[in-house]
Amino acid sequence: MLRYMKPVQIADIARVLQQARPRKFVETVDLIINFKDLDFKNNPTKRLNDKLTLPFSTGATLRIGTITERTDFQLINDECTKYAMDDLRALRRKAKEAKKLFLKVDLLFATANLMPEIITNFGKVLGPLGMIPTPIPRLDQFSVLYEGSRSAINLRIKDKPYMFLVVGKANMPPTEISANVNAIIQRVASRIEGGERSIKSIYLKTTMGAPIRHHA
């Protein structure tokens, strides 16, 4: 729970959504969090690299990848990008090629027995990308894991004092968008040094709309 900041209300989201106009595409709803008193550029230990499963899907298409043995491909959802461990072993000493391959997805899963080998061979590539795989305990239950991951997002602060995240789409109920926004703010505040007091300002906007400040 937030101690000092006011949570984003449904009425706040409704005000943001009023900016959306009829277009040939559905606008996203974007969250901008600005930070203060934290030197992310010169002190990498203060940066954030976290994963969060939101209460509701943002409506964005999440590219999900899996690392398994080729013989297990039939147990993985067809929508996933499937990496065979046999193929990846050929890239153990080719960091640039491995990075290019992993950047084709947003989230990675891997069978639990392969995790030690993956970390040993690709940890230095996957770590900075925030792409350390989530272990798959049982492949026959991967579909459940897959469905739950569709509302997952990566929370990353690199060297700039702000975050920019898609939290929903303009055709979503304001209740769902506000729930996503508050979940993100709470998680970020719990992970950064200084907590809520290190958050300078929060803005919400639609794709084509002007940022509206949340007066917390």
Instruction: Summarize pLDDT for 33-84 with one digit per residue, the tens.
Output: 999 999 999 998 999 988 899 999 998 888 999 999 999 999 999 999 999 9
d(CA 206, CA 18) in angstroms, rounded, equals 9
User: What is the domain extent for residue 44?
Assistant: 10-59+151-214
Q: Indicate if 110 and 169 belong to the same structural domain.
A: no
Is the per-residue pLDDT at 2 higher than 80?
no
Q: Is the pTM of this model over 0.75?
A: yes
pLDDT for residue 130: 81
Q: What would the pLDDT profile of 98-107 be if each residue is shown by its tens digit?
A: 999 999 998 8
CATH for 48: 3.30.190.20
CA dist list (Å): 39 to 34, 46, 100, 157: 12, 7, 29, 11
Mean pLDDT of 86-90: 95
Long-range residue pairs from 41-46, CB within 8 A, at least 24 positions apart, any chain: 41/159, 41/160, 46/192, 46/193
Task: Indicate the residue among 149, 174, 201 that finishes a domain.
Answer: 149
